[in-house]
Amino acid sequence: NAGVTQTPKFQVLKTGQSMTLQCAQDMNHEYMSWYRQDPGMGLRLIHYSVGAGITDQGEVPNGYNVSRSTTEDFPLRLLSAAPSQTSVYFCASRGGHQPTGTDTQYFGPGTRLTVL
Amino acid sequence: AQSVTQLGSHVSVSEGALVLLRCNYSSSVPPYLFWYVQYPNQGLQLLLKYTSAATLVKGINGFEAEFKKSETSFHLTKPSAHMSDAAEYFCAVSTDTGRRALTFGSGTRLQVQP
């Protein structure tokens, strides 16, 4: 049971380039989410999904797209990278078929992205 | 809407001393509260969570936290700090309404001096 996995671990992009951050979980969790972590700001929610085919915006969605075609995978796309998107990105998932607020959320190891 | 405030971005204690990390929350509905720990270059790991069953919650590695509704607080404590406790700690809140996502505080970096 690998839990939540993310690839790549590190990435350097030039302004305007696009890329996809991969996230997968093998716990059959319905709820998945993406956060970005910036110094002194904690983690902020970018997008989330409550199941395959269902996604919604979080606090800071601009510049990012997501899709959820399977329960296991939840990729995050940067269409045109900007220096303001330099950050550490975490994917998370939690179980339960009812979206309660008590479920433990499991985090991946993170992707450190630098945009030049 | 919900929010979390962590007082003190950096806390330094001596090995063996009491650890106290402060967290205050704001929520218009009954909250669920979490403490996560992040070791350098790693993801977040759950320390403990409050889900309304008991106000004093015990977690891993000897940490505990007490939910105080009157003070809207959920402070994290450990009686005796170990060097291995040096990490960043995040308090988070979620609810059963809205996005049901975690809202995080800005984090507290704990240093443990020998």
Mean pLDDT within B42-47: 91
Instruction: With cut-offs at 50, 70 and 90, classify the pLDDT of residue B41.
Output: confident
Does position A1 have pLDDT exceeding 90, yes or no?
no
Residues of B in contact with A35 (CB under 8 A): 104
pLDDT score, position B100: 67
A96 vs B: CB within 8 A: no
| Paired tokens of B40 | 């350098």
pLDDT digits (tens, 9 = 90+) for A10-28: 999 999 999 999 999 999 9
Cβ contact A101–B107 (<8 Å): no
A61 vs B: CB within 8 A: no
DSSP string, B49-101: EE-SS-SEEE-GGG-EEEEEGGGTEEEEEESS--GGG-EEEEEEEE-SSTT--
Average pLDDT over chain B reads 92
Mean pLDDT within B69-95: 95
Contact A55, A102 (CB under 8 A): no
Reduce the DSSP state of residue A29 to 3 states and report it.
coil
Instruction: With cut-offs at 50, 70 and 90, classify the pLDDT of residue A95.
Output: confident
